[in-house]
Amino acid sequence: MLLQVVYVYLGFPFTHATNGKKVACDRCVHHKTNCTYWSPQDLIVQKKLKSIGKSVTSIDANSEVQNCLQAKSFYHQYNLQARYWALDSGEPAPDEEMLTEQKS
């Protein structure tokens, strides 16, 4: 029953036994030719795999952006910590050292 529903859903008139990975459609059986249609199950699986591939690509792009933002956050946290260390020790902050060297 489910197989017939799949056949109707795809619009192919398949009512004959399978031939390897492919199914013999009514038209090919009538004309006694080799059927070139893929199995409806294979078509559905291929379509689902494509949609999964697109989702994975989207996830990869999102994770790349998230990783970049996380790296920038770590960079700024380190710079902020370096400034606190400089204040505690009484030394100029790293940026201030660079500015005084450029002015000299």
| Relative orientation angle of helices 94-103 and 40-89, to the nearest 10 degrees | 70
In order of 89, 100, 101, 103, the CA distances from 83 in angstroms are 10, 16, 18, 21
* 34 and 1 belong to one structural domain: yes
Residue 103 token pair: 């002015």
* 2 and 32 belong to one structural domain: yes
* 5 and 35 belong to one structural domain: yes
Range of the domain at 29: 1-41
Model confidence at 2, pLDDT cuts 50, 70, 90, reads: very low
Is 98 a domain residue?
Answer: no
Is 104 a domain residue?
Answer: no
Asked whether the whole model's pTM tops 0.75, one would answer no
* 64 and 28 belong to one structural domain: no
Whole-number pLDDT of residue 22:
54
* 35 and 2 belong to one structural domain: yes
Tens digits of residue pLDDT in 43-65 = 788 888 888 888 877 777 778 88
* 37 and 10 belong to one structural domain: yes
Is 96 a domain residue?
Answer: no
The number of angstroms, rounded, from the C-alpha of 41 to the middle of its chain's C-alpha atoms is 23
